[in-house]
Amino acid sequence: MTRSTAATAVACLVLAFLLPSAASAKERVKYKDPKQSVNDRVQDLLSRMTLEEKIGQMSQIERANATTEVIEKYFVGSVLSGGGSVPAEKASASVWQKMVTKMQKAALKTRLGIPIIYGIDAVHGNNDVYNATIFPHNVGLGATRDAHLVKKIGEATAHETRATGIPYTFAPCVAVCRDPRWGRCYESFSEETKLVQLMTSNMVAGLQGDVPKKHPKGVPFVGGSKKVAGCAKHFVGDGGTTRGMDENNTALSFHDLMRIHMPPYDNAVIKGISSVMISYSSWNGVKMHENKFLITETLKNKMDFRGFVITDWQAVDRITNPPHKHYYHSIKETIHAGIDMVMIPYDYPEFVADLVKQVKDGQIMLDRINDAVSRILRVKFTMGLFEDPIPDPRLTKELGAQDHRALAREAVRKSLVLLKNKKKGQKDPMLPLDKKAKKILVAGSHAHDLGSQCGGWTIKWQGETGNNLTGVGTTILEAIKKAVDKKTTVDYVERPDKDDLAKSASDYEYAVVAVGEPPYAETAGDSKNLTIPSPGPEVIKDVCGLVKCVVLIVSGRPLVLQPYVDYMDALVAAWLPGTEAEGITDVLFGDYGFTGKLPRTWFKSVDQLPMNYGDKHYDPLFPFGFGLTTKAAGHK
């Protein structure tokens, strides 16, 4: 052995002694080892983080701002797509995955390599994405009373969300809507707490997977790469605001808040929900985003919720009211209240600077920051983001899959509620319709409008009318044409002229009239009168006054119907059915029977509102749970 080789050998021995082996290094970096417990991984990673890295994990910014530079500079922990925020118009699943991958790679390049968690409002399917399956909104699912169906819809939604590389959805909405004047009422399964609880449990299980029997209560659970982290929202009482005004005050005793609005959250926590989103609304004058009693003492401590609490969009700004309260102080109050992740789509530099200063000045204790970050990391570890942060390109085929569309079609037919099936004095019911009729009329604003069928939160935040919105889907008119005999003539006139119709009315064996609400979301949907927009009422009276007719009400809630019901031979509440209108014709033409039941009370007049099942003075047009049934003539 030469002197040089001997020296080299000695040097190698010294290095081997001084430097840890690969195995011991890996053992020491617990957070990178999937064999370690989640709690050990969380504590190990937390111990290595700077204050700035911790606050980065608490920050959720908008997709449009999430450049590689921003993610690396601010150690961003989460990114979201606001309603309608997409990487490109009509973007494919692959384009979505490419965007998420780029962001994820930026996060993995940071010192500790903590992956981001990307969130989106997949509230009735992956509804921001072109060519996705759009399921009925929650009010329609409540009408099905079918818990197993709702679980399968949760599973399909998870698959289509993962198809775009996104592992987190801001769903389900578990609000108990007590006043249909509220613009978010269609996001609620029902006015009745127990029905909301049932649907909540099954939707969470569908999205996240079934919690193992021995899984501790309150600990988040996401069971596999085709599942997504869910988010129960909006905590708490958002469906009970005064006069149904969005973001308004819920004036209730603590007992009634716990009795009516809190139980679905308990169900979500039991099912391992990953996050809870706080409501813009207030409870007895206190903004929910600064309510420490409900967020920390009740949700976290009493209900033992172990996931993370997230704000709504720019919610910190909503509790700022100069000159009495400034943004700086609003941040302090929300963090003190128990908020863990803050949705700050645009103002993240100011938020981060202010929060860092408040911790360093002792205005916010480091223990509160550590609790917040621990909860966020717990979800990320639980769902396997550290092991599989990059989207799986094999999942792109799940977007708009045929079995999902078949499931949506099933959901539509089970959600339809038959409210009337013959006029007074008539012997025979109007439905089911004859497929072999020689000539039929289809009319109304919603008969051939896919955007109106889907409602808000579809591609765009507020939704949009027209047939060029979702990429694929079937309108009511198209479904009727597919269902009837080839020899049947189908005339479509959106707004028939009464005089012209009088001349040809005898030519039609029956008419299908589809009217309802235009798309809307949140505050834009608040309504004081709940009337069917013109010319809907005129179409009902003109057509049904001359031709035997069935009226379909396409809406997110009950509307004023009493003045028009006598004109109709049959009346169906179709809610907001989504892209698969063949589910409507399945039932109209008797291939399946009507089974849906009202998930909420159908009032006679808005003067009666709020009016809910069990109220002392209960005098509805159609009561909660009402729904006529028909027998199927035979399956296809």
Which active-site residues does the annotation give? 312, 522
The one-letter code for the residue type at 555 is S
Cα 188 from Cα 205, distance rounded (Å): 17
Q: Over the Cα atoms of the chain, what is R_g?
A: 27
Q: Residues for the chain: how many in total? A: 636
Q: Check residue 525 and report its DSSP letter.
A: G
Distance set, CA 493 to CA 6, 174, 511 (Å): 96, 39, 11
Q: Provide the 3-class DSSP secondary structure of residue 43.
A: helix
**Cβ neighbour number for residue 605 with a 10 Å cutoff:** 13
The one-letter code for the residue type at 443 is A
Among 543, 523, 519, 596, residue whose Cα is nearest residue 190: 596
The one-letter code for the residue type at 550 is V
Cα 450 from Cα 472, distance rounded (Å): 9
Is residue 375 within a helix (H) or strand (E), and if so which, with residue range? helix 366-382
Q: Provide the 3-class DSSP secondary structure of residue 235.
A: strand
> What is the DSSP secondary-structure string of 53-117?
HHHHHTEEEEGGG--HHHHHHHT--EEEEPTT--SSTT--HHHHHHHHHHHHHHHHTSTT-PPPE
Query: Strands (DSSP E) along 138-283, which ranges?
Result: 168-169, 231-235, 249-250, 275-278, 282-283
Cα 561 from Cα 584, distance rounded (Å): 20
Cα 196 from Cα 174, distance rounded (Å): 7
Cα 258 from Cα 613, distance rounded (Å): 18
Cα 36 from Cα 22, distance rounded (Å): 17
Cα 561 from Cα 271, distance rounded (Å): 39
Distance set, CA 330 to CA 290, 349, 474 (Å): 8, 16, 47
Query: Strands (DSSP E) along 221-314, which ranges?
Result: 231-235, 249-250, 275-278, 282-283, 286-287, 308-310
The one-letter code for the residue type at 283 is W
Q: Quick check: 345 and 310 in contact, CB under 8 A?
A: no
Residue position matching structure tokens 């150690």:
75
Cα 143 from Cα 166, distance rounded (Å): 29
Q: Check residue 457 and report its DSSP letter.
A: S
> How many Cα atoms sit within 13 Å of 324 on the Cβ side?
2
Distance set, CA 591 to CA 47, 486, 582, 588 (Å): 62, 17, 11, 8
> What is the DSSP secondary-structure string of 581-613?
THHHHHHHTTSS------SS-B-S-GGG-S--T
